[in-house]
Amino acid sequence: MSNAGDGPLVSPEWLAENLDRFESDDADYRLFEVDIQEDAYASGHIPGATRIDWEADLRDTETFDVLSPDDFGDLLGGHGVTRETTVVLYGDFFNWFAAHAYWLLKYYRHENVLLLDGGRKYWLDNDFPMTTDQPEFSEQDYDAPSPDESVRARRTEVEQAIEDETCLLDVRAPAEFRGDILAPPGWNEGVQRGGHIPGAENMPCRLTIQADRRFRPTDKLADLFGQVGDADETIVYCRIGERSALVWFVLTELLGYENVSYYYGSFVEWGNAVGLPVESATSAELR
């Protein structure tokens, strides 16, 4: 994408040419780095970027749910964002957590939100400008509206989806889908049971990204997700919600598929809930 008006993706080249817009205290543009690694931002970031911590800032740490409208408004307003601000997001880990932030802004109906193609890794690898200066912006009033529930699937809807044979996409790694492991090595948000939601198909999110961390071309993505285009409804999930947010972005924002929702609770909720069925690759029976 050559500029911010072409679609949901921003190219690194466009951003590099327009950094002055994001460094200004004017509320027209804001840039956020959304990380899971605590020291990444401090070691260097894109000029004008403010850090958002995925764990501490983008969810209610007591309920493990999304931020309330008031808390969401306080977060964005505190960083100088208004309802009209164009927000650009990027981050570490293949843009997983930045994609979650993107979904959250769409959940709260923020219209002008964009994702930096390639994320932090591509920017670093290609020697685009970096800084350790941390910007400060004037606070703004941000009144979050009621959320758009059409982009979110809740547990009861997933249960109904099993009965209706709705398209369920599990975007975790194959070993997680099969039940061989409960979580990727080094991650601590585990589940009690391995496997997947009954009837789900495995489509690892890593397949959507090229080796340089940018998204695959749209035609290649369409080939990957052909079955979604034919489905009346699709629900995507992973383990804690970050990888499925990236695939939700691909399906809705890049491919334009309708009726795609994101199971926020994902397998951390499903795999730990008493009484919900789990299927593994080694047994056709639910256990």
pLDDT in tens, 81-118: 999 999 999 999 899 999 999 999 999 999 999 999 99
Query: Which residues form the catalytic set?
Result: 238
Which residues of 109-232 form beta strands (DSSP E)? Answer: 113-116, 152-153, 167-170, 201-202
Q: According to the model, what pLDDT value does residue 189 have?
A: 63
Q: According to the model, what pLDDT value does residue 191 have?
A: 82
- 121: part of which helix (H) or strand (E)? helix 119-125
- In sequence order, which residues have a C-beta less than 8 Å from that of residue 146 and are 6 or more positions away? 69
Q: According to the model, what pLDDT value does residue 226 have?
A: 86
Q: According to the model, what pLDDT value does residue 281 have?
A: 62
Residue 224: left (phi > 0), alpha (psi -120 to 50), or beta?
alpha
Residues in the chain where the model's pLDDT stays below 50: 1-3, 5, 284-287
The residue to which tokens 């997680």 are assigned? 176
Q: In Å, what is the CA distance from 222 to each residue of 227, 230, 234?
A: 9, 11, 15
Q: According to the model, what pLDDT value does residue 4 have?
A: 56
68 beta partners: none
pLDDT tens string 177-221: 999 988 887 776 678 889 999 999 999 999 999 999 999 999 999
- The torsion of the CA quartet 16, 19, 21, 25, rounded to 10 degrees, works out to 160
Q: According to the model, what pLDDT value does residue 285 have?
A: 43
Q: According to the model, what pLDDT value does residue 208 have?
A: 97
Q: Copy the structure tokens of residue 53.
A: 């911590």
Sign of CA dihedral 123, 127, 133, 139: negative
